[in-house]
Chains A and B, each alone.
Chain A
């Protein structure tokens, strides 16, 4: 049961809040079914980019198209927010089934089992740990079988072990369903492990667009993987002349 993933095209996409530019003239093409990871310093605009893709934010200028259509209906796109945003007054199961019609309970239980939370179906969100809440949020996004899944630091609150489990879970579900994934993460090895391409966002632009050509499932201890991680980290830690970007901006 594979889904056709979404194709995404950004052309000169810019976004500013009041006077502050956050994203500047981004050009980006994402293939159907591709797994993209975005890394970058805090506040560099990663969440903003995801929100633009989810249609929750309007671009200031430039073009954004998903499957050839300008954004409007977001039926096939699901965003997993940086904070879990579960409805505290609904049980875990009802949160997963939010917005679904018909007999969704069985499917919701199935998806909950996939994220390892079947026994929490009747619990209130307030009774869950931070990591458990995020897994419920993931289940809530997955149940819609989106063509484009946007993940905003979904594993940030997890312990190392659960994190590994969730990473392979996300990878497995992605391989199974072949949707397009854009994952924002702070964890560079995580990006290398999961993504077909890693983008480094910096000063509102794509500073590095690095295809990861390792075969899956990836061994993060392998020299190639370590090499990739080092290359990305270096880019983040030593920004390509922020001053250079500044000057080109001033010049234009």
Chain B
């Protein structure tokens, strides 16, 4: 057919068409004066602000601070959630001892604790890391616990009848069986991680992306504010890509995670 070869190379570009058009429209409406710079700066202005902050080193600094908070909180909260989930998932004793307590605490929205956390830790790093840890603990805990519990008991029985016990049983059956669920937990936790960090940094911070945005607000620098928002979006996307990568490596046995192209 005449058209097919032409549409063929257009295909991969198609998803970008609408965003590009929107950006063009945005640029045009600002430069034509139809949209005030105060409300929304032009994309070119945001890029320029980004470049300025990048070359002055400020951007890297604030990004680094935010990333460090996020990573530290995630490692602490995720690690704790994983450990607790393993304990309750692996032993009935652990479940009756811990699970109902964790479930109760889980019902408190962790962002509601902000005033209390500020009283406890002031507005320094500890407060933010604490909030992030709290936000990431529960999704990972829940999914680890359920991941272990939903493992086919037939597989466990089989493994035991083939002499697998203790660590070998955990390594060969329980952990890989729970992994799909744990990774779902990681995905949720990463979402909560950025959300918590945004809120915490916006309320009180002296460094970080949230600080960058709040500081810019005082000077009505909407370009920097938009830049900060885009940076958060970018970081969120980056975390998502990372989990996808892990899924592709660790769950390559799973039909649902096999790439459709292969």
Contact = CB atoms under 8 A, between A and B. Distances in A.
A28 interface: no
B34 interface: no
Interface string B132-166: 00000000000000000000101101110111100
Interface stretch (B60-68, B109-117, B171-179, B230-238): B171-179
A35 interface: no
B253 A98 contact: no
A86 B168 CA distance: 16
B254 A126 contact: yes
A17 interface: no
B173 to A, nearest CB: 7
Contact of A75 (B157, B158, B163, B179): B163
A87 B162 contact: no
Contacts of B155: 85, 87
Nearest to A88: B253
A89 B253 contact: yes
A23 interface: no
A195 interface: no
A74 B157 CA distance: 13
A113 interface: no
A53 to B, nearest CB: 12
Interface in A34-56: 54-56
A98 B172 contact: yes
A85 B158 contact: yes
B206 to A, nearest CB: 46
A104 interface: no
Contact of B173 (A87, A91, A126): A87
B172 A56 contact: no
B255 interface: yes
B98 to A, nearest CB: 27
Contacts of A56: 157, 161
B162 A99 contact: yes
A140 to B, nearest CB: 8
A89 B177 contact: yes
A140 B158 CA distance: 11
Interface residues of B, number: 21
A81 B253 contact: no
Nearest to B156: A85
Contacts of B254: 88-89, 126
B161 A98 contact: no
Interface in B237-259: 251-255
Given A56-B157, A81-B154, A85-B154, A90 B163 contact: no
A125 B162 CA distance: 18
B176 A87 contact: yes
Contact of A89 (B154, B158, B164, B176): B176
A83 interface: yes
Nearest to B255: A126
Contacts of A55: 161
Contacts of B164: 98-99
B86 to A, nearest CB: 18
A79 B161 contact: yes
Interface in A81-107: 81, 83, 85, 87-91, 98-99
A75 B161 CA distance: 8
Contacts of A87: 155, 159, 172-173, 176
Nearest to A79: B161
Which has the most chain B C-beta neighbours within 10 Å: A54, A56, A87? A87
Which has the most chain A C-beta neighbours within 10 Å: B158, B163, B176, B179? B158
Contacts of B173: 87
Contacts of B161: 54-56, 74, 78-79
Contacts of B255: 126
Interface string A136-166: 0000100010000000000000000000000
Contact of A90 (B152, B154, B168, B172): B172
Contacts of A91: 253
Interface string A48-85: 00000011100000000000000000110011010101
8 interchain residue pairs of minimum CB distance: A89-B176, A99-B162, A85-B158, A99-B163, A124-B253, A89-B253, A126-B255, A98-B162
26 contacts: A54-B161, A56-B157, A56-B161, A78-B161, A78-B162, A79-B161, A81-B158, A83-B154, A85-B152, A85-B158, A87-B176, A88-B253, A88-B254, A89-B176, A89-B177, A89-B179, A90-B176, A98-B162, A99-B159, A99-B163, A99-B164, A99-B168, A124-B252, A125-B253, A140-B162, A144-B162
Interface of B: 152, 154-155, 157-159, 161-164, 168, 172-173, 176-177, 179, 251-255
